[in-house]
Amino acid sequence: MAKKLLIVESPAKERTLAKFLGKNFTIASSYGHVRDLPTSTLGVNVEKGFQPRYKIIDERKKIVARLKKLTKNADEVYLASDPDREGEAIAWHVAQVALLPEAKTFRVTFNELTKSAVLRAIEHPGKIDMNKVNAQQARRVLDRLVGYMISPLLWEKVARGLSAGRVQSVALKLIVHREREIAAFVPQEYWEIAAKLALPTGEAFEAMLYRIAGEEPHIESATKAREIVASLMTKEFRVTQFEKQEMKKKPLPPFNTSHLQQAASIRLRFSASRTMAVAQQLYEGVELGDEGHVALITYMRTDSFRVAREALDACRGFVNERFGPEYLSREARVYKSRKTAQEAHEAIRPVDVTRTPDQLRGLLSEDQFKLYDLIWRRFVATQMRSMLYEQQTAEVTAGDAVFRATGRKLLFPGFTVLDERKEEMLPLPELSTGTTLRLLDLVPSQHFTKAPPRYTEASLVKTLEKEGIGRPSTYASIISTIQERGYVRLENRAFYATELGMLVSDLLEKHFSRIMDVRFTSHMEELLDEIEEQKADYEGTLKEFYTPFEEELSKARAEMKSVKGVATPSPYNCPSCGKTLLVRMSRHGKFLGCSGYPECKEVLRLTKEGSLALLETTCAKCGKPLLRARLKGIICSDYGHCDYVQPKPEYKDSGEICPKCSGPMVRRKGRGGDYLACANYPKCRTTKALPTNIPCPVEGCTGTLICRRGKGRQIFYGCTRYPDCTYTTPKLPDTTPDTQPPAPAKSDPAAN
């Protein structure tokens, strides 16, 4: 029997696929990309057609060696990485590093991890699509050219640690421009007038002033509002029009990636990265008791609304059985995707629509359940009848003024029976033209025009998609990057541009206007699509970008003014040496540094408004707020007149010795819980996880368990004898909550 090997991206899929394919197949994982451009150099040969210079990722060398061994012994190799450009590139890289001959190499894709989909893909394999690979390589090279050529310039001119990106910089520009719109906005006062009216039967309703003297009312002051109210108090209010119209509200399409990120942000308050991480878990499969490892949703990186025919039929059958034929749409409802959508993909939907969220309650984590519930309801709703309601509009005339009232009356709930957040329907009373109404009150109310709202994750993703900036699969990383670089901060779920972000955006917009242009960025995305469609070639696309970019770069190197090291005097003196404090710029924004640097290295923090960053606690001597100084510690904000210094907390000696300086290790508290730190801080910054004193359960191991943080900041417990013992566990064995140590801290609070 032929030896067959199937290679996937994620090890989470291995068990599921092994169950489907049986003993005929060996399943292995590449753990994502196995090759990439080098981190130390540009890695692109610009002179030779922008040829990438790939190297095996250090962390993947053992994996590559294993894959080579497995592929050498296999008669047929099936590359089953994800069904998108990135997955196609991963398949190609695996084939390249393993030196796979084309004759025994096959490319298979599936949008869902079900037995039928997997077996169907194996029965109809294809070859690696080099058009997709070239489109992915072009994107990677474009991003590398921008990142590796502009970022060093920012390091030189602004501060170390900064970065620029082909797409992230445009996203930053959107937020910065909105920040300036808000700052420049001047509110305008306006007034509205509401009439509280009653029918002869006593039924009351409210109408708003809609027209006066045949024109839209512009009431800009309380005086004008009072004049209008006084003139109408003696008028007769009569119904001059009452209309009813039956309206439909159709269900939204099933989710694609960007719409899922937006809905999860609004409904669940999930960040884009959190949404994608949870969706990945649902796609790759979760443990469902006796059923074992089960995939719950289709592939979650897609820009398509297409749904497979069998999935549509299954959904319609479910609706008919669960809700009745009166709730089933007359025909299968299909939705049109955007022109640039990859229609080979499906929308995000449940793998098995009959697996309801209620059946999974208690089997999924809280995040998994919430997201699955959102996806399931959205998909099922697509094949249900529209909501029917009666739209009511009434006009009431009083002198030369016309008031308008609107109401809605539910006729049939349709798909909205699935929505836990019911829309409020407030119908008007039954009105007749010519009916005289009794005026109960005329109420003027003051309002002010509002500045444009700040971007949230949902609205930023929506704008990026609308403008054609990036692709849905990149939105999460774009948003994470501009936050990690300190360019924006997320506060109350809204993005605020920092001073550093505004500075960097202004410099880039001034010297790299094409890269920062929304339309140009969108045009480059279209060219990447055209490479995949064989309408554009790899080298020509990159050359179109690079030739003017090289000119801009050369000009920027000569003309961009440096703000690095530029300092302006502040009104404050140094609390350590008495010299003037200077306002300086770092990657974290402006701060106060001593003019006596480097002899005096005192540093004080500033707020975004430029004033001293005060603490909530107050001085024990004079009652004024305290502030944090790097050398002095916590001192009085009136330090020129008050010499109060807050005593440093005494930390309990843990009995352990610092491995670097041999000083005592003390127990300290951080934002993530207790941890051990060297008592000689800040000279020695050594920290250690808090020991649990619980023996490692591995037989023969003499180590104990300690709390650690892995990638993504997840907490786990591992043996102190690592790497000799690699035991890990997400929870401590045989412990109570009282004996479980807290998570390791992110950093020493004394360093903040």
Alpha carbon distances (Å) from 182 to 190, 409, 451: 19, 38, 5
pLDDT of 749 over the 70 cut: no
Q: Are residues 15 and 119 in the same domain?
A: yes
Residue 744 φ then ψ, to 5°: -65, 145
Q: What is the 3-state secondary structure (H, E, C) of 666-698?
A: EEEEECCEEEEEECCCCCCCCEECCEEEEECCC
**Consecutive H or E run containing 131:** helix 130-157
Biggest distance spanned by C-alpha atoms of the chain? 98
- Residue 110 resides in a domain: yes
* Token pair recorded at residue 106: 């096959």
Among candidate residues 733, 634, 651, the one with its CA nearest the CA of residue 692: 733
Q: How many other β-carbons are positioned within 10 Å of the β-carbon of residue 666? A: 20
pLDDT of residue 714: 66
Helices (H) and strands (E) in the chain, counts: 17, 33
- Residue 483 resides in a domain: yes
* DSSP state string for 350-362: BSSTTS-HHHHTT
Q: Are residues 315 and 360 in the same domain?
A: yes
Question: Residue holding tokens 């929505």?
Answer: 419
Distance CA 156, CA 179 (A): 26
Q: Are residues 119 and 144 in the same domain?
A: no
Q: Are residues 592 and 678 in the same domain?
A: no
Among candidate residues 338, 351, 271, 341, the one with its CA nearest the CA of residue 302: 341
Distance CA 346, CA 375 (A): 13
Query: pLDDT of 296-350, one tens digit each?
Result: 999 999 989 999 999 999 999 999 999 999 999 999 999 988 766 665 678 999 9
**78 is a catalytic site residue:** no
* Token pair recorded at residue 627: 């502030």
- Residue 113 resides in a domain: yes
* Token pair recorded at residue 334: 């299909």
Long-range CB pairs of 605-611 (<8 Å, 24+ gap) are 608/498, 608/499, 610/583
Q: Are residues 30 and 110 in the same domain?
A: yes
Q: Which strands sit side by side in the sheet containing 653-657, from one edge to the other?
A: 653-657, 664-670, 673-678, 687-688
* Token pair recorded at residue 740: 């479980």
pLDDT of residue 739: 40
* Token pair recorded at residue 22: 């049986």
Q: How many other β-carbons are positioned within 10 Å of the β-carbon of residue 39? A: 10
Pick the last residue of a domain from 359, 381, 403: 381
Start-to-end C-alpha separation, the chain: 64
pLDDT of residue 712: 54
Average pLDDT for residues 266-271, to the nearest whole number?
Answer: 94
pLDDT of residue 348: 96
- Residue 645 resides in a domain: no
Residue 708 binned pLDDT confidence (cut-offs 50, 70, 90): confident
In this structure, what CATH number is given to the domain that contains residue 291?
1.10.290.10
The more confident residue out of 470 and 750 is: 470
Residue 114 binned pLDDT confidence (cut-offs 50, 70, 90): confident
pLDDT of residue 707: 78
Pick the last residue of a domain from 399, 427, 448: 448
Q: Are residues 398 and 477 in the same domain?
A: no
* Token pair recorded at residue 500: 């550093």
pLDDT of residue 733: 63
pLDDT of 152 over the 70 cut: yes
The total domain count for the chain is: 6
Q: Which of 84-93, 158-167, 266-275, 377-386 has the lowest mean pLDDT?
A: 158-167
Residues with Cβ within 8 Å of residue 342, at least 6 apart in sequence: 84, 302, 303, 304
Is residue 684 classed exposed, middle or buried when 0-12, 13-18 and 19+ CB atoms within 10 A define those classes?
middle
pLDDT of 535 over the 70 cut: yes
pLDDT of residue 333: 93
The more confident residue out of 752 and 443 is: 443
Q: Which of 353-357, 366-370, 373-377, 481-485 has the lowest mean pLDDT?
A: 481-485
Q: For residue 76, give its domain range.
A: 4-128
Q: Helix or strand or coil: residue 393?
A: strand
Average pLDDT for residues 669-698, to the nearest whole number?
Answer: 79
pLDDT of 686 over the 60 cut: yes
pLDDT of residue 672: 57
Q: Are residues 217 and 290 in the same domain?
A: no
* Token pair recorded at residue 428: 């008007």
pLDDT of 118 over the 60 cut: yes
Strands (E), 521-649: 568-573, 580-586, 589-594, 603-605, 614-618, 625-629, 633-636
State which amino acid sits at residue 316: R
Strands (E), 20-154: 25-29, 35-36, 44-45, 51-52, 55-56, 76-79, 105-107
DSSP secondary structure letter of residue 28: E
Q: Are residues 431 and 396 in the same domain?
A: yes
Q: Are residues 619 and 702 in the same domain?
A: no
- Residue 653 resides in a domain: no
Q: Are residues 579 and 605 in the same domain?
A: yes
- Residue 732 resides in a domain: yes
Query: pLDDT of 388-447, one tens digit each?
Result: 999 999 999 999 999 999 999 999 999 999 987 777 899 999 999 999 999 999 999 999
Buried-state track 540-556, b at ≥16 Cβ within 10 A, e below 16: ebbeebbeebeebbeeb
Query: pLDDT of 486-518, one tens digit each?
Result: 899 999 999 999 888 999 999 999 999 999 999
**% pLDDT > 70, the chain:** 94
Query: pLDDT of 67-83, one tens digit each?
Result: 999 999 899 999 999 88
Residues with Cβ within 8 Å of residue 413, at least 6 apart in sequence: 387
Rg for the chain, CA atoms, rounded:
32
In this structure, what CATH number is given to the domain that contains residue 115?
3.40.50.140
Alpha carbon distances (Å) from 486 to 21, 149, 163, 182, 279: 48, 20, 10, 20, 27
- Residue 294 resides in a domain: yes
pLDDT of residue 236: 95
At what angle are helices 168-184 and 475-484 packed, to 10 degrees? 60
In this structure, what CATH number is given to the domain that contains residue 235?
2.70.20.10
Mean pLDDT of the residues in the chain: 89
* Token pair recorded at residue 413: 């709930």
Q: Are residues 544 and 481 in the same domain?
A: yes
Pick the last residue of a domain from 323, 356, 381: 381
pLDDT of 193 over the 90 cut: yes
Residues with Cβ within 8 Å of residue 47, at least 6 apart in sequence: none
Residue 141's beta-bridge partner residues? none
Residues with Cβ within 8 Å of residue 267, at least 6 apart in sequence: 374
pLDDT of residue 673: 63
**% pLDDT > 90, the chain:** 64
Q: Are residues 374 and 401 in the same domain?
A: no
Average pLDDT for residues 448-473, to the nearest whole number?
Answer: 93
Average pLDDT for residues 544-566, to the nearest whole number?
Answer: 89
Long-range CB pairs of 620-628 (<8 Å, 24+ gap) are 620/644, 620/646, 628/604, 628/752
Residue 724 binned pLDDT confidence (cut-offs 50, 70, 90): confident
Question: Residue holding tokens 């005060």?
Answer: 614
* Token pair recorded at residue 147: 């990142």
Average pLDDT for residues 125-142, to the nearest whole number?
Answer: 94
The more confident residue out of 296 and 682 is: 296
Distance CA 230, CA 184 (A): 37
State which amino acid sits at residue 285: G
- Alpha-carbon dihedral sign for residues 75, 81, 83, 84: negative
Distance CA 219, CA 189 (A): 9
Among candidate residues 372, 424, 422, the one with its CA nearest the CA of residue 268: 372
Among candidate residues 191, 201, 193, 205, the one with its CA nearest the CA of residue 440: 205
pLDDT of residue 228: 96
In this structure, what CATH number is given to the domain that contains residue 461?
1.10.460.10
**Catalytic member of 78, 299, 475, 546:** 299
**Consecutive H or E run containing 315:** helix 309-323
Distance CA 743, CA 746 (A): 9
Residue 740 binned pLDDT confidence (cut-offs 50, 70, 90): very low
Residue 406's beta-bridge partner residues? 393
Among candidate residues 623, 670, 672, 669, the one with its CA nearest the CA of residue 650: 669
pLDDT of residue 45: 94
State which amino acid sits at residue 95: A
- Residue 341 resides in a domain: yes
pLDDT of 452 over the 60 cut: yes
